[in-house]
Amino acid sequence: MNRSTLCRCGTLGLLLSLAPAAFASSNVDLAVKGTITPSACTPQLGQDGVIDYGKIAARDLYHDGFTQLPLTNLPVSVNCQAPTLFALKPTDNRVGSSASTSDGFGLGLVNGGERVGVYHIVLHTPLVENAPITQLQSLDSGHSWFVVEENVGLPPLRLAAFGDASSGVWSPLPIQTLRLQMRVHTLIAPAQGLTLDREVPLDGSTTLDLIYL
């Protein structure tokens, strides 16, 4: 399996605007926008971000149902130079290959389009400065946030952050040190839909971006 990684993501906006042709303007405007944050954050993922299930015998797979592989927990940490507002966003690098619902991550395609399986990511037991904190998620790129109950997964491209409702609404808090566990649930697709006359790789890959808010 390819490794899942954490990386930092900066922001830079580039806007080119052209005047309407009807005015026959002879000039154009260029605007370059962005934000320089005074505090950088460094994310880390345990086991170098690799989950390796080794060899799995085809005869051990369920014929007409999903086969669940051992649950894996990876420690995740984010260390910032000073309290910083940020969120985490997972991107499925094998998009279109999930063998289940849209909230899962794919394990790759084989034999002309067979979907090998799916895995789900759950963030749990978050600690900020060694104290428990509430996990939040956003469906609208961080404009609003809601509380995530225990064992609720983090789907591809959804933002996850950590905060409280001290401002009157649920919103992220500036964090300097974050510790949590990433729980990975992996399932192999029903054997009846896979060609198993040769080795089939599990090829899941997710990038977890750290987004400054």
d(CA 209, CA 199): 32
Q: 165 lies in a domain?
A: yes
Average pLDDT, integer, range 27-39: 69
Q: Which range has the worst mean pLDDT, 10-24, 53-67, 137-151, 176-190?
A: 10-24
For residue 69, count CB atoms less than 10 angstroms from its CB and return exposed for 0-12, middle for 13-18, buried for 19 or more: middle
d(CA 153, CA 144): 18
CA distances from 184 to 26, 78, 130, 177 (A): 57, 19, 23, 22
Q: 183 lies in a domain?
A: yes
pLDDT digits (tens, 9 = 90+) for 3-32: 333 333 333 333 333 445 555 567 777 767
User: Where in the sequence is the domain holding 168, given as residue range(s)?
Assistant: 5-9+37-212
At residue 1, does pLDDT exceed 50?
A: no
More reliable by pLDDT, 99 or 6? 99
Compute the mean pLDDT over every residue in the chain, rounded to the nearest whole number: 86
Q: 32 lies in a domain?
A: no
Contacts of 45 (CB under 8 A, 6+ apart): 4, 5, 6, 74, 75, 76, 182, 208
Q: 203 lies in a domain?
A: yes
Provide the number of structural domains found in the chain: 1
Q: 127 lies in a domain?
A: yes
Q: What is the CATH number for 133? A: 2.60.40.1090
Residue found by looking up tokens 């309407």 in the block: 20
Q: 70 lies in a domain?
A: yes
pLDDT, position 23: 54
CA 16 centroid distance within chain: 31
- Neighbouring CB atoms inside 10 A of 90's CB total 23
Q: Which range has the worst mean pLDDT, 1-10, 132-141, 144-153?
A: 1-10
User: CA quadruple 132, 135, 141, 144: dihedral positive or negative?
Assistant: negative
